[in-house]
A and B are shown apart, each in its own frame.
Chain A
Amino acid sequence: MIAALTDVEVDYPRGRALGPFSLAIDAGEIVSLVGPSGCGKSTAMRLLAGLESPSAGAVVRTPGRGETAVVFQAPTLAPWLSARANAALPLELAGVRKHDAEARADQALARVGLAGAESARPAQLSGGMAMRVSLARALVTKPTLLLLDEPFAALDEITRRALADDVLKLWAAAKPAIVFVTHNVEEAVYMASRVVVMTRGPGRTAGEVAVAGPLPRPPGFRTTEAFRTHVEAVSHLLAQGMAA
């Protein structure tokens, strides 16, 4: 177990955002978190990242500083920095010397397929490329817990499928635990060995679906009977969660 939420509740002045909700993440596994918008998925992410504290319940996190990385829905790059400097930012904040940080940033950019685009600014990159820079920035510290908060939501279908496969390949190389938040059922099933479905807000667990099959996914996985069955199971839980 690398991180766990136990009966957490998050209350904001305008009402409850999440919970009671529990979720345990094992080292090296990929968990998808699906739920309707406003169910508190992003809040659960911030708890797992240690960016927020729960109003009630317990949060356990084992990764040290710099071992948790987050990719947001938008690429969230600094427009005044090059792709290289953006990817190097976490290392520089940790006090790594500029030269070393940039060398490691270049490696991370190469791993996400952006070799040659190191000195481009975010404004010069397409949405998919900017997302890859964001991914490189998350990977540059070699995290043990990678939190992906609807990272493909703003991308077109072809780009998101390509990125989904790339994320799985990158996962296979370093095996960080990944929590993948999405409201796309097929994507949730495709990306993870376990899909946790949340009810509408304030979110609780509506159920869980274990996804069989190898990761990264073999070609044609989306057309298999098993994939369809899992997608239907998740959809069914989502519908129940909406009615709850």
Chain B
Amino acid sequence: MTRLAQALAPFVLIALLLAAWEVACRALHVPIYFLPPPSAVARALATDWAGLLRSAWNTLSMALIALVVASLLAQAVALVVALSPILERAVRPLAVVLQVTPVVAIAPLVLIWAGLDHAGRAIVGLAAVVAFFPIFSGAVTGLKATDPDLERLFDLYGASRLQRLIRLRLPSAVPYLLEGHKVAAGLAVIGAVVAEFVAGSGGAQGLAWRILEAGNRLQTARMFAALVVLGVLGAVLHAVLEAAERAGLRWWRGR
């Protein structure tokens, strides 16, 4: 009973908030372009769903491509850096600067470099920049997070540098890599959406473009509909990544 109540609690709250919103909009005669009631958002969702799904896939696929690019780059750089402490000292500050610079700020530059006709490339590039750091950071930490007694054991048996890397440091890094990829995937979607906004309505037709386009026409209900899809996309992605991380950890430690 309590478990059922716990499972239902968030949905009950959402239903209550939606009901209050609907009642308030009607009672106070709020103009529909200012704040549409949930029923109007639902209607917009129903009429636009095909286009919204296409846009969601657009955004998601860009984010996923960016994730793959970021993953390969971050792990390659992390591997080089982890093997040389002096290189790590050299690279760290640059990586941090890259991380703390807001994507919005570098988006116009990347758009120019990618070419205004290739907004897709700019979006992938920007999403990859955002996704790079958590994977890089996780990989560097993970490659150094070996059990010191296991290190001593490798010393004792005279392991070579390559043996140490392949048999000790890479496997030790796996949990950190899983965590890094989970965070990076979420950030890649955010990066893709932000980049779409900067690219404007002329570029790729992702969810941000839907929001901009509907906004320009003052079709507020359609803006909300796109936001709902974006929220669901984020929640589903988060759930999938959590499950993937758990499965990965189970495989890694056999339980």
Contacts and interface: CB of A to CB of B under 8 A. Distances in A.
Interface stretch (A14-22, A62-70, A165-173, A177-185): A62-70
B168 A78 contact: yes
Interface in A25-44: none
Interface string A86-108: 00011011100000000000000
Given A70-B156, A79-B252, A123-B254, A89 B167 contact: yes
A94 B157 contact: yes
Contacts, number: 62
Interface in A70-125: 70, 72, 74, 76, 78-82, 89-90, 92-94, 120-124
A44 to B, nearest CB: 14
A66 B157 contact: yes
A80 B150 CA distance: 13
B253 A93 contact: no
B254 A76 contact: no
B252 A72 contact: no
Nearest to A85: B167
Name, among B147, B153, B254, B255, the residue most crowded by chain A CB atoms within 10 Å (CB to CB): B153
Interface string B26-47: 0000000000000000000000
Contacts of B159: 93
A51 interface: yes
Q: Interface residues of B: mostly helix, strand, loop or mixed?
A: helix
Interface string B189-232: 00000000000000000000000000000000000000000000
A70 B153 contact: yes
Given A51-B152, A72-B149, A74-B149, A80 B252 contact: yes
A151 B171 CA distance: 25
B156 A76 contact: no
A65 B152 CA distance: 14
Interface string B150-183: 1011111111000100011001001000000000
Interface residues of A, number: 28
B254 A82 contact: yes
A188 interface: no
Nearest to A121: B254
A124 B255 contact: yes
A89 B149 CA distance: 14
Contacts of A68: 156
Nearest to A94: B157
A45 B163 CA distance: 25
A93 B154 contact: yes
Contacts of A141: 157
Interface string A202-238: 0000000000000000000000000000000000000
A65 B255 contact: no
B149 to A, nearest CB: 4
A93 B150 CA distance: 13
A169 B155 CA distance: 28
A68 B152 CA distance: 12
B147 A76 contact: yes
A90 B167 CA distance: 11
B160 to A, nearest CB: 8
Contacts of B174: 80
Contacts of A90: 153, 157
A93 B253 CA distance: 21
A51 B155 contact: yes
Interface of A: 46, 49-51, 65-66, 68-70, 72, 74, 76, 78-82, 89-90, 92-94, 120-124, 141
Given A76-B149, A81-B171, A89-B153, 18 more contacts: A50-B156, A65-B158, A69-B156, A70-B152, A72-B149, A78-B150, A79-B252, A79-B254, A82-B254, A93-B154, A93-B158, A93-B163, A93-B167, A94-B158, A122-B253, A122-B254, A123-B254, A123-B255
28 contacts: A49-B156, A65-B157, A65-B158, A66-B157, A69-B156, A70-B152, A74-B149, A76-B147, A76-B150, A76-B153, A78-B150, A78-B168, A78-B171, A79-B252, A79-B253, A79-B254, A80-B252, A80-B254, A81-B171, A82-B254, A92-B167, A93-B163, A93-B167, A120-B254, A121-B254, A123-B253, A124-B254, A124-B255
